[in-house]
Amino acid sequence: MPLVPSISPATGRRTSEAFIHTVDCNFVDNAGRTLLLRGVNLSGASKAPVGQLSHQLDGFWESAEQGGLSFVGRPLNIDDGSADVHLARLRGWGFNFLRFPVTWEALEHEGPGKYDFEFMDYTIRVLCKCRDYGFRVYMDPHQDTWSRFSGGSGAPFWTLPACGINPHNITATQAAILHCEYTYPTPAALPAMAWSTNYGRLFSQSLFTFFFAGRDFAPNCIIDGVNIQDYLQSHYIEAFGQLADRIAAFEGGSLLEQCVVGWDSMNEPFEGWCGWEDLNLNPTEQGSTLKKGTYPTPAQSLRLGMGTPQTVDNWSFGTFGPARDGTVTIDPKGHKLWADADPSDEGEGERPDGTHPRWGWKRDVSKWPLGTCPWAQHGVWDVTTGFILLPDYFLTSPSSGLPVDFITTHWLPHFLSFAQRIRRSQPESILFVQPPVFGYPPHVEEEVMKGRGAYSAHYYDGLTLVTRHWNWFNADALGLLRGRYTAKWKAVKVGEGAIRRSLEEQIGYLKEDALIIGGASSSPSSSSGPSKPISYPTIIGEIGTPFDMDDKKAYRTGDFSAQEKALDASLNAADGTNGVGYTVWGYVAEDQGHEWGDGWNGEDLSIWSGDDMRDLRMSLPMTAAGAASSLSLATLGGSSALSLSLSQPSSSSSALKHLPSSSSSLSSSSQQYDPRTGHSPNPYDFLTNGARAVRAFARPWPVKVVGRVKEVRFEIGRASFRLVVGVRAEDRVREGVSGEGQEEEEEQLATEVYIPLVHYAHPDIIERSVMMGYGGGPGPRRGSSGPGRGLKKEVDADADTRSIASDIKTKTPYLIPNTPDLLALDVTVSHGHFSVQGQTLKWWYDVPGEGEEEREYVLEVRRRGGVIKPRVIKNGVLVEGGDGICGDLCEEGGCVVG
């Protein structure tokens, strides 16, 4: 790693110990160690106010028209203490990085320029708690298909009438699919991923065109004296600017660098119609817009928006992808998407003169009168005949006559304006660049990036996501979109090994894309970069898998093996030779359950669910049998031996004596178990109860590396981990600098590797685990059918469910103890020496001298005693673990380890 500067390239100020550099394709701490930043999106629940799940129609429009609801309480409940448990669980899984979604609606729902400072201050309280638990955060201005009121999330309600929309006719015209209306009164019938089809419908296509290209394509849409593009963008940017100001001002900037390290750009921006070739046709090739259900052409959508019935193509998405399966007639019955003026002096709608009594704007009705389609007003089509007059209207820029390249001609100018506003508040902020899904990022001038940037691409295994099934085959979807195959069949991957290699290759494509931003590489449509390019790092901003596969089978059986395979394949792709960070989508602490998933459009991607928690009070763990004495890990840790076994079972239960319990015996631990949050004094139970496919995401990985990560491999079934690092002379850490998160003075900073207790727990911990089936096994899951149904109500009424806030005496009361005896390890290093403390392995090795060649070192880790297996209960008798992680346990009422 090139020697990191002691002066910030963005501000010229001296860098702090907490400073994170973005150089040489990596995040780097201030001592010069490569950082891997991994964590979750916290959280999908932030798309809506507390308790407002997307299927709920009652009060949906009424509250919006009155100024909306507060988002206070998102993403965590700070006041009842449960936030501590959730954050401790996330840290226990090894995560150190959080993507923090915030919607425009949450900031400005009461009206244009009316900011919700109470929510902003609540957000700061949550960020303070994240900082207490050692998390770095990047803020995410989140949206999906524009707004909660168009079937997604993001913009406040008032943007709809500002754009001339009558929201009550969205469903009638199928301008968007709204969960609470589309399949009313049976919202559970909403097809999987139906929300994503909104990008192919009139509402999103129109409003994103307004937002990014209104000056070019809707020049007559003037409101408050400015074009609709400037009106929307200025409000959007300033709303997030206000939040950035407030974060920066808190305690003199104490949250910056220590917690908030940067800002993402708009989540999954959409081009609308920018660059569309022919409004009479849809693209023949599959793009980022999902073909599923009704799929009108833009011409048909325009007619539907004015109330005219249309017969449109209908698509299904099966095992082999999208396929046309007939036609469907949509009849709006005369309802128009475009609003009429309200002539009544007492009404709440916009007046004929363009003034709005509630929202306060004034529309230029001489150019943009309400009552008809604004695209017809601009001569794109004729309402009377329905004929498209300018089918290629959006293909070229009216001002320049040049072809539209959306990312460079329209997305990039918005990004630059947003970045300028954020940097005004937080000048050291890392700018995370997120262009449209699967689109190449643009080159961004260094006078904007200032050496502080990253590429925040998203990646999902699309076939698994849409079909809700882990298949025996898959396809290189990104490669197909990028034109890497001469024939579609060549992109098909058969067998789990081929699928895993393909996913790794696709993440590799995205890692290569990051080079475009700083000019170290170029996209197919761009020219060569600058003379002094900068190679920025990559973070996969969203990655994950659905947990409601196969008609929610796992919720009935407790068997999450398919989900584990799918999630492991995706996260393995970020390992290998890619070695990139990610933030998994997602972790939902509130409003999550088997019935409605994450509470948003039927999605269920949360890696933890309260409905998958088991009541550990229903069975008490057995006392461990005596075993051989333990050799102190503190003594063994400093050994320079190449191979070392790091623990043995102990009758003294040393692995448990430091656990946060008022009693040294876990036989009375039910008094410390909290059934509301799942906190347990046994760390294995705490980290697995309610977790789903935990073995896939709680995986070992290098957190801080002296040198560069060359390869990371982890095999779940064998609990086998292998790390290869490359070390050059320039990778020598800076002397006298403690480095990111360093708490102890060392003679030399070490490479630090997270070793998950979930895979490598000490036998004493497993012996006392209720989740592993000891002591009769845990009680039923909250969300399971049969005896477990209704447990949540019983638990809520129990005395043990009192607020845990009164029990919190320290800033981080529920962290897994950082003791030397949590794990049972066999460790081999090719060079150097190591020690283990808590779930962290520190590894020291020599750095080559000046002029010497690069060296390669290898670390290998296995569990002492073999892979963890749950005990199996048969006929009331405890027997040793069966095959794999579950053995025969699932036959007795479901898997106890997600």
Residues classed as catalytic? 268, 542
Is residue 708 within 8 Å of 36, Cβ to Cβ?
no
The kind and range of the H/E element at 753 are strand 751-754
* 257 Cβ contact list (under 8 Å, min separation 6): 16, 18, 19, 20, 428
* 56 Cβ contact list (under 8 Å, min separation 6): 180
Is residue 682 within 8 Å of 774, Cβ to Cβ?
no
User: What CA–CA distance (Å, rounded) separates 106 from 102?
Assistant: 7
- The dihedral region occupied by 118, where left means phi > 0, alpha psi between -120 and 50, and beta the remainder, is alpha
User: What CA–CA distance (Å, rounded) separates 486 from 145?
Assistant: 32
Cα of first residue to Cα of last residue in the chain, in angstroms, is: 39
Angle at which helix 561-574 crosses helix 549-557, to 10 degrees, equals 120
Is residue 891 within 8 Å of 879, Cβ to Cβ?
no
Map tokens 């269920």 to a residue.
604
- β-strands 136-142, 453-455: how paired? unpaired
CA 112 to chain centre: 29
In the chain, what are the helix, strand and coil shares in percent, each to the nearest 5?
Answer: 30, 20, 50
Instruction: At 538, list the tokens.
Output: 């990559």
User: What CA–CA distance (Å, rounded) separates 408 from 433?
Assistant: 13
Is residue 727 within 8 Å of 707, Cβ to Cβ?
yes
DSSP state letters, 767-836 = HT-TTTTGGG----BTT-SGGGTTHHHHHHHSGGGS-GGGG--SSSTTSPP--TTSB-EEEEESSSEEEE
User: What CA–CA distance (Å, rounded) separates 884 from 898?
Assistant: 13
Map tokens 């409605």 to a residue.
596
- The dihedral region occupied by 624, where left means phi > 0, alpha psi between -120 and 50, and beta the remainder, is beta
User: What CA–CA distance (Å, rounded) separates 766 from 327?
Assistant: 57
User: What CA–CA distance (Å, rounded) separates 257 from 21?
Assistant: 11
3-state secondary structure 478-510: HHHHCCCCCCHHHHEEECHHHHHHHHHHHHHHH
Is residue 686 within 8 Å of 815, Cβ to Cβ?
no
Q: Which amino acid is at 746?
A: E
User: What CA–CA distance (Å, rounded) separates 680 from 34?
Assistant: 34
For residue 323, count other CB atoms closer than 10 A to its CB. Answer: 10
Q: What is the DSSP secondary structure assignment for residue 407, as one 8-state letter?
A: I
* 566 Cβ contact list (under 8 Å, min separation 6): 461, 464, 470, 545, 549
Is residue 758 within 8 Å of 696, Cβ to Cβ?
no
Q: Which amino acid is at 474?
A: N
Is residue 560 within 8 Å of 45, Cβ to Cβ?
no
